[in-house]
Amino acid sequence: MSDERVLVATARLDEPTRRLVTEACEHARVRPVFLGAAGPEWTNGPLNPTLLIAALPSGSRTVPEDIAILATEAYQALPILLLCGEPLVRNSVSLQGGRLTLLGQPLTREKISARIRTAVASSASPAGDSGRTAIHEGGLRAREMRGREWWAGVIARDPARGDRGPEGSDLLPAVCKLGRHGVAGLVPLDMKSPILATGMQEAALALASGQPGERSAATLEATVGTTAAAAWFSPATGQWSFYSPRPDTELWVYSPLRLPTAWRATATEGAWRTMPAASGDVVVVAVGEPAPYSAAEFRSGEVWKVAEGGGPALLDHLEARLASWNGSGAALIVELR
pLDDT mean over 19-28 = 93
Confidence of residue 10 (pLDDT cuts 50, 70, 90): very high
Q: Please tell me the predicted confidence (pLDDT) of residue 163.
A: 41
Tell me: do 113 and 139 sit in the same domain: no
Asked, for residue 124, whether it belongs to a domain, the answer is no
> How far, rounded to the nearest angstrom, does the alpha carbon of residue 149 sit from its chain's CA centroid?
10
More confident residue, 7 or 169: 7
Whole-number Å distance between alpha carbons of 242 and 272: 6
Average pLDDT over residues 193-222: 71
* Three-class DSSP category at 91: coil
Query: pLDDT value at position 107?
Result: 92
Q: Where is pLDDT greater, at 119 or 318?
A: 318
Domain check: are 196 and 310 in the same one?
A: yes
C-beta pairs of 95-98 under 8 Å, 24+ apart in sequence: 97/148, 97/149, 98/148, 98/149, 98/337
Overall average pLDDT of the 128-149 stretch: 72
**Average pLDDT value for the chain:** 82
- One domain for residues 136 and 260: yes
Q: What is the mean pLDDT of residues 122-138?
A: 54
Q: Indicate the pLDDT class of residue 285, thresholds 50, 70 and 90.
A: very high
| Same domain, yes or no: 306 and 246 | yes
> How much of the chain exceeds pLDDT 90, in percent?
25
φ/ψ of residue 68, rounded to 5? -60, -40
Instruction: Please tell me the predicted confidence (pLDDT) of residue 129.
Output: 47
Same domain membership, residue 234 and residue 331: yes
Same domain, 274 and 255: yes
170 in the same domain as 101: no
- The reported pLDDT for the residue numbered 9 is 94
Q: Which band of pLDDT confidence, cut at 50, 70 and 90, is reported for residue 1? A: low
In the predicted model, is pLDDT for residue 122 greater than 70?
no
Say if residue 68 is in the same domain as residue 144: no
- Pair (136, 101) in one structural domain: no
The answer to whether residue 273 scores a pLDDT higher than 80 is: yes
CATH number at residue 94: 3.40.50.2300
Write the CATH number for 271. Answer: 3.60.40.10
Number of H helices, E strands in the chain: 8, 19
Q: Does 312 share its domain with 212?
A: yes
325 occurs within a structural domain: yes
Q: In the predicted model, is pLDDT for residue 74 greater than 70? A: yes
pTM above 0.85, yes or no: no
In the prediction, which pLDDT does 208 show? 63
Q: What integer is the mean pLDDT of 245-261? A: 86
Rounded Cα gap, residues 337 and 331, in angstroms? 20
Q: Higher model confidence: residue 189 or residue 217? A: 189
Answer whether 191's CB lies under 8 Å from 171's CB: yes
Residue 165 lies in a domain: yes
pLDDT band at 212 (very low <50, low <70, confident <90, very high): low
Q: What are phi and psi of 162, to 5 degrees?
A: 95, -15
Average pLDDT over residues 150-177: 74
Q: How many domains does the chain have?
A: 2
Instruction: State which of 119, 153, 168 marks the end of a domain.
Output: 119
118-127, 131-140, 189-198: least confidently modelled range: 118-127
Decide if pLDDT at 165 tops 60: no
Distant-in-sequence, close-in-space partners of 70: CB < 8 Å, separation ≥ 6: 7, 9, 35, 52, 78
pLDDT for 128 equals 44
Cα angle value 175/323/139 (rounded, 5°): 60
115 and 133, same domain (yes or no): no
- Residue 250 neighbours by CB under 8 Å, 6+ apart: 264, 284, 285, 286, 287, 291, 293, 295, 298
State whether 74 and 144 are in the same domain: no
Q: Give the residue numbers spanning the domain of 298.
A: 129-336
pLDDT at 253: 94
Q: Please identify, among 119, 149, 175, the residue that sits at the C-terminal boundary of a domain.
A: 119
Q: Is the pLDDT of residue 207 over 60?
A: yes
